Structure 1
Amino acid sequence: MQATTNGGAVRGRRRELLGRRKEQRVLDELLRDVRAGRSRALVLRGEAGSGKTALLDCLAGRGSRVHILRTSGVESESEITYSGVQKLCAPLLSHLKRLPEPQRAALNIAFGLSDGAAPDLLVLGMATLGLFAEAALEKPVVCLIDDVQWLDRLSGLILAFVARRLDAESVALVFAAREQDCGDVLRGVPELTVPGLPESDAQALLNSVLVGPVDAHVRHRIVAETRGNPLALLELTRGLSPAELAFGFGGLSPAPLAGRVEEGFRRRIAALPRDTRTVLLAAAIEPVGDTVLLWRALRLLGVDPEAVMPAETDGLIEFGISVRFRHPLVRSAAWRSGTAADLRQVHQALAEVTDPVRDPDRRAWHRAHAAAGADEEVAAELVRMADRARTRGGRSAAAAFLERAAGLTGTPARRGALLLDAAAARAAAGSYAQVPDLLAMAEMAPLPDFERARAERLRAHVTFALEPGRTAGPALLAAADRLRRFDRDAARDTFLTALGAAVYAGRFGGQDLRRAAEAARDVPSGRSFPDLLLAGLVSWVLDGHAAAMPALHSALDAMGAPEDAGLIWLASPVAHEVYRMDLADRMSEQAVCFARATGALSLLPTALVLRADSLLSAGRFADTANLLAEVDAVSQATGGPVQQSARLTLAAYRGHQRSAAPLIDSKLREAAERGDGRLHTLASHAKAVLGNGLGDHQAALNAARDGASHEDLALHGRLLSELVEAAARAGDAVTAAEARDRLAERTAAAGTSWALGAQAVADALAGPPGKAEERYREAVDLFTTETAIEGFRARLLFGEWLRRANRRTEARSHLRAAHDAFTAMGAEAFAERAGRELAATGETGRQHGAGAADTMALTAQESAVARLAAAGESNPGIAAMLFLSPRTVEWHLRKVYLKLGITSRRELAASLHPG
Structure 2
Amino acid sequence: MSFTEAWPGLRGRQRERDALSRLLTAAKGGRGQALVLRGEAGIGKSALLGFLAEQAAGCRIGRATGSEAERELAFAGLHQLCGPYLDRLDRLPGPQRDALGSTFGLAPGNAPDPFLVGLAVLTLLGEVARERPLILLVEDVHQLDRVSAETLRFVARRLTTEPLGLLLATRTTFPGLPELLVPGLSDGDGADLLAAALTGPLDPRVRDRILAEARGNPRAILDVPRTLTPTELAYGGDPGPAAPIQATLPATRLPQTRPLLLVAAADPTGDVPLLWRAARRLGLGTGAAASAEEAGLIELGDRVRFRDPLLRAAVYRTAALGERRAAHRALADATDPGADPDRRAWHRAHAAAGPDETIAGDLERSAGRALLRGGMAASASFLATAAALTPDPARRARRSLDAARAKAGAGAFAEALSLLALAESGPLDEAGRARAGLVRARVAYRSGGGDTLPLLLTAARQLDLIDPMPAREAYLDALSAALLAGHQASALPDPAHQVARIVREVPGPDRYPRPTDLLLDGLAVLGADGYPAAVPLLHRAVRALGGDALTMREAFRSSGVAAAVAADLWDDEHWDVLSRRCLDAIRRAGAFGLLPAALAGRAVFQIHSGDLPGAATLVAQVRWLTGPAAGEHPDVRTDDAAGRGTEGRGRAEVLLPAAWLAAVRGDEQPAERLIAEALDDAKARGAGVAAIHAARAVLCNGLGRYEEAASAASDAVAAPLELGAPKWALAELVEAGVRSGNQKAAGRAFEQLSAMTRAAGTELALGVEAGRRALLRNDRAAEDLYREAIERLGRTRIRVERARAKLLYGEWLRRVGRRADARVQLREAYEELALMGVAAFADRARRELLATGETVRKRTVAAEGDLTAQEEQIAGLAVQGLTNPEIAATLFISPRTVEWHLRKVFAKVGVGTRRELRRALSRRQAQRPA
Question: Residues 585 and 614 of structure 1 are in contact (CA less than 8 Å); yes or no, is this contact kept in structure 2?
Answer: no
Question: Residues 698 and 730 of structure 1 are in contact (CA less than 8 Å); yes or no, is this contact kept in structure 2?
Answer: yes
Could you tell me how far 1:506 is from its partner in structure 2?
A: 1.9
Partner residue in 2 for 1:894: 900
Match of 2:39, SS state, is helix
Tell whether 2:568 aligns with 1:585. no
Partner residue in 2 for 1:552: 538
Partner residue in 2 for 1:383: 364
**Kindly tell me: are residues 841 and 385 of structure 1, through their superposed partners in 2, closer, same or farther at Cα, counting changes over 3 Å?**
closer
1:202-256 Cα shifts (integer Å, max 9, x gaps): xxxxxxxxxxxxxxxxxxxxxxxxxxx9875x79xxxxxxxxxxxxxxxxxxxxx
User: Residues 181-580 of structure 1: matches in 2 within 5 Å?
Assistant: 232=247, 338=320, 348=329, 351-393=332-374, 395-467=376-448, 470-510=450-490, 511=492, 512-526=495-509, 527-556=513-542, 558-562=544-548, 563=550, 567-578=558-569
The correspondence for 2:785, drawn from 745, 764, 778, is 778
**Kindly tell me: are residues 531 and 353 of structure 1, through their superposed partners in 2, closer, same or farther at Cα, counting changes over 3 Å?**
closer
The correspondence for 1:830, drawn from 841, 852, 855, is 841
Match of 1:821, SS state, is helix
Question: Residues 747 and 756 of structure 1 are in contact (CA less than 8 Å); yes or no, is this contact kept in structure 2?
Answer: yes
Distance in 1, Cα, partners of 2:539 & 2:485: 24
Could you tell me how far 1:422 is from its partner in structure 2?
A: 2.2
Could you tell me how far 1:376 is from its partner in structure 2?
A: 2.3
Partner residue in 2 for 1:94: none
Could you tell me how far 1:357 is from its partner in structure 2?
A: 3.6
* TM-score of the aligned structures, taking structure 2 as reference length: 0.61
**Kindly tell me: are residues 743 and 325 of structure 1, through their superposed partners in 2, closer, same or farther at Cα, counting changes over 3 Å?**
closer
Distance in 2, Cα, partners of 1:307 & 1:851: 65
The correspondence for 2:829, drawn from 799, 821, 827, is 821
Letter in 1 for 2:617: A
Letter in 1 for 2:373: R
Distance in 2, Cα, partners of 1:737 & 1:589: 34
Tell whether 2:696 aligns with 1:687. yes
User: Residues 783-822 of structure 1: matches in 2 within 5 Å?
Assistant: 783=790, 784=792, 785=794, 786=796, 789-790=800-801, 793-794=804-805, 796-797=807-808, 800=811, 807-809=816-818, 813-814=821-822, 816-822=824-830
Letter in 1 for 2:564: P
Could you tell me how far 1:436 is from its partner in structure 2?
A: 1.2
Match of 2:719, SS state, is coil
Question: Residues 626 and 861 of structure 1 are in contact (CA less than 8 Å); yes or no, is this contact kept in structure 2?
Answer: no
The correspondence for 1:658, drawn from 661, 664, 669, is 669
Question: Residues 383 and 402 of structure 1 are in contact (CA less than 8 Å); yes or no, is this contact kept in structure 2?
Answer: yes
Could you tell me how far 1:440 is from its partner in structure 2?
A: 1.2
Partner residue in 2 for 1:726: 736
Could you tell me how far 1:441 is from its partner in structure 2?
A: 0.9
Partner residue in 2 for 1:153: 229
Could you tell me how far 1:532 is from its partner in structure 2?
A: 2.4
Question: Residues 800 and 833 of structure 2 are in contact (CA less than 8 Å); yes or no, is this contact kept in structure 1?
Answer: no
Tell whether 2:39 aligns with 1:26. yes
The correspondence for 1:625, drawn from 601, 613, 620, is 613
Letter in 2 for 1:26: G
Question: Residues 818 and 831 of structure 1 are in contact (CA less than 8 Å); yes or no, is this contact kept in structure 2?
Answer: no
Distance in 2, Cα, partners of 1:843 & 1:327: 60
Question: Residues 866 and 893 of structure 1 are in contact (CA less than 8 Å); yes or no, is this contact kept in structure 2?
Answer: no
Could you tell me how far 1:476 is from its partner in structure 2?
A: 2.8
**Kindly tell me: are residues 27 and 839 of structure 1, through their superposed partners in 2, closer, same or farther at Cα, counting changes over 3 Å?**
closer
Letter in 1 for 2:565: V
Could you tell me how far 1:902 is from its partner in structure 2?
A: 5.9
Moved more, 410-419 or 727-736: 727-736
Partner residue in 1 for 2:177: none
**Kindly tell me: are residues 661 and 358 of structure 1, through their superposed partners in 2, closer, same or farther at Cα, counting changes over 3 Å?**
same
**Kindly tell me: are residues 856 and 645 of structure 1, through their superposed partners in 2, closer, same or farther at Cα, counting changes over 3 Å?**
farther
Question: Residues 289 and 324 of structure 1 are in contact (CA less than 8 Å); yes or no, is this contact kept in structure 2?
Answer: no
Partner residue in 2 for 1:194: none
Tell whether 2:701 aligns with 1:701. no
Could you tell me how far 1:459 is from its partner in structure 2?
A: 3.4
* TM-score of the aligned structures, taking structure 1 as reference length: 0.61
**Kindly tell me: are residues 608 and 909 of structure 1, through their superposed partners in 2, closer, same or farther at Cα, counting changes over 3 Å?**
farther
Match of 1:721, SS state, is helix
Distance in 2, Cα, partners of 1:730 & 1:607: 37
Match of 1:808, SS state, is coil
**Kindly tell me: are residues 751 and 447 of structure 1, through their superposed partners in 2, closer, same or farther at Cα, counting changes over 3 Å?**
same
Question: Residues 149 and 177 of structure 1 are in contact (CA less than 8 Å); yes or no, is this contact kept in structure 2?
Answer: no
When the two chains are superposed, the root-mean-square deviation of aligned CA atoms in Å is 5.7
Could you tell me how far 1:25 is from its partner in structure 2?
A: 5.4
Distance in 2, Cα, partners of 1:400 & 1:905: 57
Distance in 2, Cα, partners of 1:364 & 1:744: 61
Question: Residues 694 and 726 of structure 2 are in contact (CA less than 8 Å); yes or no, is this contact kept in structure 1?
Answer: no
**Kindly tell me: are residues 776 and 463 of structure 1, through their superposed partners in 2, closer, same or farther at Cα, counting changes over 3 Å?**
farther
Match of 2:913, SS state, is helix
Distance in 2, Cα, partners of 1:681 & 1:522: 29
Q: State which structure, 1 or 2, has the greater radius of gyration over its C-alpha atoms.
A: 1
Tell whether 2:874 aligns with 1:862. yes
Question: Residues 81 and 152 of structure 1 are in contact (CA less than 8 Å); yes or no, is this contact kept in structure 2?
Answer: no
Letter in 2 for 1:818: L
**Kindly tell me: are residues 377 and 465 of structure 1, through their superposed partners in 2, closer, same or farther at Cα, counting changes over 3 Å?**
same
Letter in 2 for 1:894: W
Moved more, 660-669 or 898-907: 898-907
Partner residue in 1 for 2:724: 714
Distance in 1, Cα, partners of 2:388 & 2:240: 32
Question: Residues 260 and 288 of structure 2 are in contact (CA less than 8 Å); yes or no, is this contact kept in structure 1?
Answer: yes
